[in-house]
Amino acid sequence: MTKLRNFVLSLTFLPGLVAADELRNVNAGVTPYACTDSGAQYLLAFDPHPRRLAWGAFGGGPKKGETASETALRELREETNCVFSEAFLGQLVLKGPSKSGSYYNFVAEVPYVTKDHIKERRACRDVERFNWQWVSHDSLIKGLQSDASDPRVEVVSRPGHTVRIWSGAAKSLRTAMKAGYLPLGDPCR
């Protein structure tokens, strides 16, 4: 038991890997993906913040006393226009987190929902994102493996059309990739 405890504690000190259960009042988010007939697709949304103005996953700052996973799940719900119920999110299996600067990123499988369904009117507060896009696993990994600080990725709904991932989001996704939470191989195959 002591060896296992020491191994778990040592994970906290590996770059990009952290223990999530003790983290409170930190910035956190989720990179959601869905398994489809064509493999994994990752949901991104446009972030209208003046310093970003590009696409990324979902996350933000904590409310008082929240753990990293609570912050990540709340932000995912809010920033996807409450398309995922609180009950569903309470059962969601989070992989991670990886740490990029002061931001903690989880990766999680969610059911596929259409962009039109996400943007339907709901009684949802704090919806800070819009123009949700699904991108294929291959396109996301290819973009993240490029040298671009703000890589472009192709959207599934419009072949040939790309969106730009803002640099902070790309850095966080690359950290999750290095930590193994965002695998190089398609997690749905």
Residue 126 corresponds to which tokens in the numbers above?
């704090």
Residue 158 corresponds to which tokens in the numbers above?
């419009």
| pLDDT band at 18; cut points 50, 70, 90 | low
Domain ranges of the chain: 26-179
Of 5-14, 16-25, 58-67, 173-182, which range is least confident?
Answer: 5-14
Of 21-25, 114-118, 161-165, which range is least confident?
Answer: 21-25
Whether 115 contacts 18, CB under 8 Å:
no
3-state SS track over 54-91: EEECEEECCCCCCEHHHHHHHHHHHHCCCCCCHHHHHH
Residue-wise pLDDT for 46-70, tens only, equals: 999 999 999 999 999 999 999 999 9
What is the rounded CA–CA span in Å between residue 72 and residue 74?
6
pTM for this one? 0.89
20 against 163, higher pLDDT: 163
Domain over 26-179 is classified CATH 3.30.70.360? no
User: Cα 170–176–178 angle (5° rounding)?
Assistant: 100
